[in-house]
Amino acid sequence: MLHSQARRIRWCELFDAQHGFMVESLGADAEGGGMPPKQVITQVREAIRDVFNRELGRAPPVDTDEPKVVVVAHLAKGRCMLSLDTSGKSLHKRGYREPGHPAPLKETLAAAVLVLAGYDGTQAFMDPMCGSGTLAIEAAMMAVHKAPRIHRKKGEFHFEWLKGFDRQLWRATQDRVRAEKLEAPPAPIVASDIDASYVAMAQKSALKARVEKFMTFDTRRFQDSEPPAESGILVTNLPYGDRIGSREGDVRSSTRKWATR
């Protein structure tokens, strides 16, 4: 039935036969005696190839290494939802972060935390326990209106390989976003940590993100931190919890106060 229903979709209208494609399977129906992921992939993949062979006389190649088109089959409770992956690499992977920190924060989560905190790029910003620097780097990007993944190469977003893709509109959108970028942030952005190796890691990540020149880095204890302005926003990912363990004294109150909104 899955193969039959997948063949009803007009895949030829969605992407070209010369583009390599693959099918991914999500869901856990196999645990309840349903179809295992490999079988889901096979049935959907062959259905797609059948449609192309029927309509065009040739099928697109299967490419599991660098596919241009990815079809996602999500199976749950006996139902299968088919969708197209339009982003390619996960959007939280901005491409700048250096590896090595034991408790990295996803870039998209960091950006969401900043928005929730009321940060809009116009206030002074400080992360006194910056770790790998994700919060401060995302703050810098927001402050100068730098669009995430603006440096992705042509074709790296999977929607660029779909038939409905408007290349002229996409180019105009990129040009508009680049033109909105500021020459410098309106207020200082400071990232510091007690561990010099993490500060160095944060600096390397900021350099890859092309925002290092907009930031100030420092190695010091949280208790010794100096606010970069009379008022602003302090956001930090406190160094305790299940990921890197809990030790007495990890988090202590600072004797200094920074004015908040």
Average pLDDT value for the chain: 88
Residues 224 and 138 occupy one common structural domain: yes
Structural domain includes residue 91: no
Cβ-count burial of 33 within 10 angstroms (0-12 exposed, 13-18 middle, 19+ buried)?
exposed
Whole-number Å distance between alpha carbons of 152 and 235: 28
Structural domain includes residue 158: no
Average pLDDT over every residue of 166-175 = 95
pLDDT, one tens digit per residue, over 190-232 is: 999 999 999 999 999 999 999 999 999 999 998 998 899 999 9
pLDDT of residue 239: 72
Residues 112 and 65 occupy one common structural domain: no
Q: What is the CATH number of the domain that holds 195?
A: 3.40.50.150
Structural domain includes residue 49: yes
pLDDT of residue 59: 96
Residues 80 and 125 occupy one common structural domain: no
Residues 124 and 61 occupy one common structural domain: no
Structural domain includes residue 61: yes
Structure confidence at residue 60 as a pLDDT band (50, 70, 90): very high
Structure confidence at residue 261 as a pLDDT band (50, 70, 90): very low
Q: Where are the alpha helices (DSSP H) in 144-253?
A: 167-179, 196-208
Structural domain includes residue 199: yes
Residues 134 and 204 occupy one common structural domain: yes
Average pLDDT over every residue of 87-115 = 85
Does residue 40 have a pLDDT over 70? yes
Structural domain includes residue 36: yes
Residues 30 and 77 occupy one common structural domain: yes
Residues 211 and 131 occupy one common structural domain: yes
pLDDT of residue 240: 64
Residues 222 and 136 occupy one common structural domain: yes
Average pLDDT over every residue of 139-161 = 93
Structure confidence at residue 89 as a pLDDT band (50, 70, 90): confident
**Is residue 125 a contact partner of residue 188, using CB atoms and an 8 Å limit?**
yes
Residues 197 and 117 occupy one common structural domain: yes
For residue 226, give every residue at least 6 positions away whose Cβ sits within 8 Å of its Cβ, in sequence order, or none.
Answer: 256
Average pLDDT over every residue of 229-258 = 63
Structural domain includes residue 197: yes
Q: What is the CATH number of the domain that holds 28?
A: 3.30.2130.30
Structural domain includes residue 168: no
pLDDT of residue 111: 95
Whole-number Å distance between alpha carbons of 109 and 93: 11
In this structure, what token pair is assigned to residue 95?
Answer: 């491409």
Residues 59 and 116 occupy one common structural domain: no
pLDDT of residue 146: 95
Domain boundaries, position 123: 107-148+181-234
Structure confidence at residue 247 as a pLDDT band (50, 70, 90): low
Residues 142 and 214 occupy one common structural domain: yes
As for how many domains the chain has, the answer is 2
Residues 111 and 80 occupy one common structural domain: no
Structure confidence at residue 97 as a pLDDT band (50, 70, 90): confident
